[in-house]
Amino acid sequence: DMEVAIKVVVVGNGAVGKSSMIQRYCKGIFTKDYKKTIGVDFLERQIVINNEDVRLMLWDTAGQEEFDAITKAYYRGAQACVLVFSTTDRESFLAIESWKEKVEAEVGDIPTVLVQNKIDLLEETVIKNEEAEGLAKRLKLRFYRASVKEDMNVNEGVFNTTSNACNQ
C-alpha cells in the first residue's frame, strides 16, 4: 500500500495568520501567541481521499517572509499552495501577486487557493469585497474567506480544496 504525501506551502506576508492556520488544521487549536517550534519545518495531518491515506504536510516558515528571505528549500517539491492575506492589512493583499510569482518561479504552476484570513475582523476591513474577488478572478484562483480564530473555512474550505486539487 503506497503512501501518498503532499507538500503544501503556505505563503503571504508576516502576521496574516499562516502559522495559526497550519496549527488550527493540524492540531485543532488556536492560541493567541503561537510560537514556532524550533527545528520543525512542517506539521502534518493524515487524511483520506478516494479511500487512500494521504499525508498533507503543511510547511511553515519561522518568519523569514518578513525579510523576504525564504529559501528555495521551502518551496522545493511543493504540490499545492495556499496564498494568505489579512482582512486588516492592505499591504498583505497588495503583496499576493508577487508571492504567487515567487512560488511559480520555484515550482511552476501548482494548485493554489487564495485566502482572506481574519474575516472575524470584517468591521475593520481595509479591502473591498470586489477587490478581493477581482484579484482571485484575475489570477484564476479559488477564493476563500476564513477565520482561523473562529474556525471558519479552514478544515472544510481551504485545505479540503487543496487536497482535492492535488488528487485530480
20 is a site residue for Mg ion (CB under 5 A):
no
Shortest Cβ 39–ligand GDP spacing (Å): 17
Residue 94 CB-density burial (10 A; 0-12 exposed, 13-18 middle, 19+ buried): middle
Q: In this structure, what C-alpha cell is assigned to residue 48?
A: 483520506
23 is a site residue for Mg ion (CB under 5 A):
no
- Nearer to ligand GDP among residue 99 and residue 135 (C-beta): 99
What are the φ and ψ backbone dihedral angles of 158, each rounded to 5 degrees?
A: -50, -55
Shortest Cβ 83–ligand GDP spacing (Å): 12
Using Cβ positions, the residue closest to ligand GDP within the complex turns out to be 17
- Nearer to ligand GDP among residue 90 and residue 149 (C-beta): 149
112 is a site residue for Mg ion (CB under 5 A):
no
- Nearer to ligand GDP among residue 34 and residue 47 (C-beta): 34
Most distant pair of Cα atoms in the chain: their distance: 49
Cα gap 118→86, rounded to integer Å: 6
Contacts with ligand GDP, residue ranges (CB under 6 A): 14-20, 32, 34, 117-118, 120-121, 147-149
* Coil/strand/helix, residue 142: strand
- Under rule CB under 5 A, how many of the chain's residues touch Mg ion? 2
- Chain centroid to Cα 22, Å, comes to 8
